[in-house]
Chains A and B, each alone.
Chain A
């Protein structure tokens, strides 16, 4: 029975169609795995009754949805009707939305089964899943006594997919929150072009950067799931009114004649030799598959992280102003004579964790009178230059860009606790440029380091060309032949 949760989405879909398995059997297998995986702390709100109801309906209807009967996990950032949705924050304790996010509704419309909600960093702010009100999510990969981070912010999603607790999961990515955890856990994760997935009903962090995407066991599954997630939505004014191509049909593995750019600025001082070696291997694999490799320059790369740490906190401080203790979630107990200002201040002090408070206050500062031009406007100008760097290389005929996904393999939980907040931010050094430029980016698991931990490579595509990007990723996946799985210890 437990073997069923190990299936990929495409395999389960085909088995369901042939009548070799039912959605009820798949769902029961996943629920049993989830029940036995408490040590990973990946699922934080289980919805087994709802899942079984949806599975029975999928079996009875035999609908032709692309995900009919497929059990998935949903990141806690997505509002799900009647099911706790609290962005891993105390301030949304008890919040049960009266509505369903467009992306999760699209998945349900395609026939998917929701197993429950997944752990994450609070408000998606973090790179190690250590800022969650639910406690740390744990990486199923383990090579010594240490428990490792699954990365963040979509840490629960990554752990759940890597440990075969579900067939796929939703993630969101503001600075690398799909791709970094995917790299740390040896799975595939794609952030589509800004505007591909509707942001409606997803708890907002930094609205000009946030995008949802799938986290899956391989590239084909990413294509299938992304297809179901995206599409125009009038409820999100930044949602693109563009046709969505058939991503899966574009997976031919043929990348002959494609031009792949290798950005020299992604060679970082102090980068582990293994990351460099893996990157070199990736280049060779794409070349052997018939692609043409060219050295490119993205000159403003080093300014991407500081730009991000102005823009993201600025947008977060505005977005998180809504948590005021009035409309939803937590309200602090008030003292004699406390007025509305004390209610706001106490509620937000109690409800937000340290990292969230830090970013809201940094955002408040960079937006405050006297600093708006020096910090916020300057960051928006540098952002325009970062985007132009990419436009220039695409104009030179580059189809995709290959980079490492992360500057290291997964690190131990607690190892960064005493570090400067900026040290944690460096996790996103290779991924954050993609959000600033609004481009699609994908992590492809590519190998193991000398400790036996997974490492990933990132491919960055042209805007709206996720299909082409997925196909390049598919060719890379075939070349790497990465099939390693964590050994079960939980």
Chain B
């Protein structure tokens, strides 16, 4: 499996990380080195093995489905790069 610059561009976009066009070949090269290393996993016999979902055998705890938190708008917004009138502010989303 070899990754070309088109795939690298697509992955960068999926990850929402801007990568300049002239950096794509180097990025594709790095992906190939890492994926080449990962390729070894193909030789393992995993017939009948269930994918691990939890490393410790535990059942997630249940609790009452009730509101346990809230009423801290100021704290939620305290670290926002741009907060106005009690909301997060972002560039225009809809044309």
A: residues with CB less than 8 A from B are 94-98, 193-195, 208, 234, 237-238, 240-241, 300, 302-303, 305-307, 309-310, 317, 321, 324-331, 334, 338-346, 348-349, 352, 357-358, 360-362, 364-366, 368, 374-375, 377-385, 387, 420-422, 425, 436-438, 463
- Tell which of B18, B37, B51 touches A384, judged by Cβ atoms closer than 8 Å: B51
The CA of A204 and the CA of B11, in the complex, are separated in Å by: 22
B2 close to A (CB within 8 Å): no
- Interface of B, secondary structure class, is loop
Contacting pair B17 A361 (CB below 8 A): yes
Query: Measured between C-beta atoms, what is the minimum distance from A110 to chain B in Å?
Result: 25
Query: Measured between C-beta atoms, what is the minimum distance from B91 to chain A in Å?
Result: 5
Contacting pair A344 B55 (CB below 8 A): no
Closest 8 interchain pairs by CB?
A: A438-B55, A380-B51, A331-B81, A328-B79, A345-B18, A349-B18, A381-B46, A98-B75
Task: Using CB atoms, name the residue of chain B closest to A376.
Answer: B51
Interchain Cβ contacts under 8 Å between A and B, 15 examples: A194-B55, A195-B58, A241-B61, A303-B40, A325-B81, A330-B81, A331-B82, A358-B34, A361-B17, A361-B31, A374-B42, A379-B38, A381-B44, A384-B52, A436-B55
Contacting pair A340 B61 (CB below 8 A): no
A331-B82, A339-B93, A422-B34 given as contacts; is B41 within 8 A of A240 (CB)? no
- Tell which of A94, A378, A382, A421 touches B30, judged by Cβ atoms closer than 8 Å: A421
On chain B, the residues within 8 Å of A94 by CB distance are 79
- Tell which of B27, B56, B91 touches A361, judged by Cβ atoms closer than 8 Å: B27
Q: Given A342-B18, A387-B52, list of 11 further CB < 8 A pairs?
A: A300-B44, A307-B41, A327-B76, A338-B91, A341-B16, A358-B27, A365-B3, A378-B46, A384-B50, A436-B55, A437-B55
- Tell which of A305, A326, A383 touches B80, judged by Cβ atoms closer than 8 Å: A326
The CA of A324 and the CA of B82, in the complex, are separated in Å by: 12
- Tell which of B7, B44, B53 touches A303, judged by Cβ atoms closer than 8 Å: B44
Contacting pair B91 A238 (CB below 8 A): no
- Chain B 1-49 interface residues, beta-carbon cutoff 8 Å to A: 3, 7, 11-19, 27, 30-31, 33-35, 37-42, 44, 46, 49
- Tell which of B14, B17, B38 touches A309, judged by Cβ atoms closer than 8 Å: B38
Task: Using CB atoms, name the residue of chain B closest to A463.
Answer: B56
Query: Measured between C-beta atoms, what is the minimum distance from A82 to chain B in Å?
Result: 10
On chain A, the residues within 8 Å of B81 by CB distance are 325-326, 328-331
Contacting pair A385 B46 (CB below 8 A): yes
Task: Using CB atoms, name the residue of chain A closest to B50.
Answer: A384
B92 close to A (CB within 8 Å): yes
- Chain B 48-80 interface residues, beta-carbon cutoff 8 Å to A: 49-56, 58, 60-61, 63, 72, 75-76, 78-80
Query: Measured between C-beta atoms, what is the minimum distance from B88 to chain A in Å?
Result: 5
Count contacts between A and B, CB distance < 8 Å.
164
Task: Using CB atoms, name the residue of chain B closest to A308.
Answer: B38
Contacting pair B80 A328 (CB below 8 A): yes
Contacting pair B79 A96 (CB below 8 A): yes
Task: Using CB atoms, name the residue of chain A closest to B27.
Answer: A361
The CA of A341 and the CA of B92, in the complex, are separated in Å by: 10
The CA of A366 and the CA of B41, in the complex, are separated in Å by: 13
A327-B80, A387-B52 given as contacts; is B88 within 8 A of A365 (CB)? no
A328-B80, A348-B17 given as contacts; is B37 within 8 A of A343 (CB)? no
On chain A, the residues within 8 Å of B7 by CB distance are 365
On chain B, the residues within 8 Å of A352 by CB distance are 17
Contacting pair B51 A381 (CB below 8 A): yes
Contacting pair A383 B30 (CB below 8 A): no
- Tell which of B16, B56, B88 touches A348, judged by Cβ atoms closer than 8 Å: B16
On chain A, the residues within 8 Å of B34 by CB distance are 309, 358, 362, 421-422
Contacting pair A345 B11 (CB below 8 A): no
Contacting pair A348 B18 (CB below 8 A): yes
A193-B56, A208-B55, A422-B34 given as contacts; is B41 within 8 A of A303 (CB)? yes
On chain B, the residues within 8 Å of A98 by CB distance are 72, 75, 78-79
The CA of A309 and the CA of B30, in the complex, are separated in Å by: 13
